Amino acid sequence: MVPFQSLQAYGVTVDAVCPGKKAGDACPTAVHKPIGHQTYAESKGHNFALNASFDEIDAAGYDGLVIPGGRAPEYLAMDEKVLALVRKFSDAKKPIASVCHGQLILAAAGVVRDRTCTAYPAVRPVLVAAGAKWVEADTMKKCVVDGNLVTAAAYDGHPEFISLFVKALGGSVAGADKRILFLCGDYMEDYEVMVPFQALQALGCHVDAVCPDKGPGDKCPTAIHDFEGDQTYSEKPGHDFALNASFDGVDASSYDALVIPGGRAPEYLALNEKVLSLAKGFMDKGKPVASICHGQQILAAAGVLQGRKCTAYPAVKLNVVLGGGTWLEPDPIHRCFTDGNLVTGAAWPAHPEFVAQLMALLGIKVSFA
């Protein structure tokens, strides 16, 4: 989801396909995270909606290929149609970006011989056997470039991974010398913090994430909120999000923008006077503030929505209206709105518009040759 929505936010047309499925179908995803055992643990993640059909894909119509990791590459590497598609991109020397276990597909397709690459450490034996020049990942942020091939060890490396892929596509970024603050809390929505956080880092922005009563290196558990046919969203445990700055040490004047993720965290953060003062300070100074889903509960409690036009997750309409805001219906759910310095979105499907509109306020532009 992070590369998919980040590239869309930068103005790239992105199609996602899966063998045996068509546009509108969903792929279940997995949450892989270390919890102290000898390997990572897995739990059920979001459902990822495809927007194109595998059987209708013509590689000639695309400029690059991205291969995510997880467990899917294990079986996709046995699909001859998948391998043929990868070979077409490789033969045409088009950019290919593969992360984590995705390199299993590259090995099966026979396109890594004499190529320098990395991957999740457990993939090393396969890549070495396929003739690749293996680079050990000293951290899970490790990325390697060899010509048109970009490889990464894990999702921790998304910022550099995405940045390198954008460059391989002929992209350049202007105006990204910005400092952005994320206001985090326990059980914020997984995607709603990670996608914009890594998307902005990939552009070259300095991004700090803070949480009251926590410091750099501490983690916030996240929640996966998904739409699975019930009357409201479901919730599952998400990734643990690592903070990189201290809330108590925040100097708001040193930041150019504030981002407020949704999830369940805003319910209790809206009771914290220091949080409300921080949000009010950004709004009073006219600095860009981007808030999504339930994040607007904080803005309403801070008293900064009076006379402002905004949206939110539909259940937060009451907070917005009682806070004096003018409600804008999020129809469809990926719709976002900008009112002066304020960007608001309803839920994580809105990330491409959400990030793009914040970029516009900050004067950040991505262009492709």
> What's at 42, amino acid-wise?
E
Q: How many Å apart are CA 64 and CA 80, to the nearest integer? A: 20
Domain closes at, from 169, 201, 229: 169
Domain closes at, from 115, 144, 169: 169
Same domain, 190 and 290: yes
- Successive 10-residue mean pLDDT values, the chain, 369 residues: 98 98 97 93 96 97 98 98 98 98 98 98 98 97 98 98 98 98 98 98 98 98 95 95 97 98 98 98 98 98 98 98 98 96 98 98 97
Same domain, 150 and 194: no
Same domain, 217 and 362: yes
Same domain, 226 and 291: yes
* Count of domains observed in the chain: 2
Same domain, 144 and 208: no
In 108-233 the beta strands, taken as DSSP E runs, fall at 116-117, 133-134, 143-146, 149-152, 171-174, 179-183, 188-189, 206-210, 219-226
Known active-site residue 293: yes
Catalytic pick from 32, 158, 225, 294? 294
Known active-site residue 294: yes
Tell me the CB-side half-sphere exposure of residue 33, using CA atoms within 13 A. 15
Same domain, 217 and 316: yes
Catalytic pick from 143, 184, 293, 336? 293
Cα dihedral 34, 37, 40, 45, rounded to 10, equals: -70
- What 3-state class would DSSP assign to 312? coil
- What 3-state class would DSSP assign to 123? helix
Predicted local confidence at residue 156, as pLDDT: 97
The per-residue pLDDT for range 352-364, each reduced to its tens digit, is 999 999 999 999 9
Same domain, 223 and 76: no
β-strands 188-189, 206-210: how paired?
unpaired
Q: Which helix (H) or strand (E) holds 2?
A: helix 2-9
Predicted local confidence at residue 251, as pLDDT: 95
Same domain, 190 and 261: yes
Q: List, in order, residues 6 or more apart from 362 with CB less than 8 Å away.
A: 175, 178, 180, 256, 257, 288
Q: How many Å apart are CA 269 and CA 267, to the nearest integer? A: 6
Q: Which helix (H) or strand (E) holds 104?
A: helix 103-109
* pTM for this entry: 0.97
Same domain, 5 and 97: yes
Predicted local confidence at residue 112, as pLDDT: 98
Catalytic pick from 101, 158, 225, 239? 101
Catalytic pick from 32, 46, 100, 205? 100
Give the residue numbers spanning the domain of 5: 1-169
- CATH code where residue 36 lies: 3.40.50.880
Predicted local confidence at residue 11, as pLDDT: 98
Same domain, 150 and 277: no
Same domain, 209 and 304: yes
Same domain, 23 and 143: yes
Domain closes at, from 126, 142, 169: 169
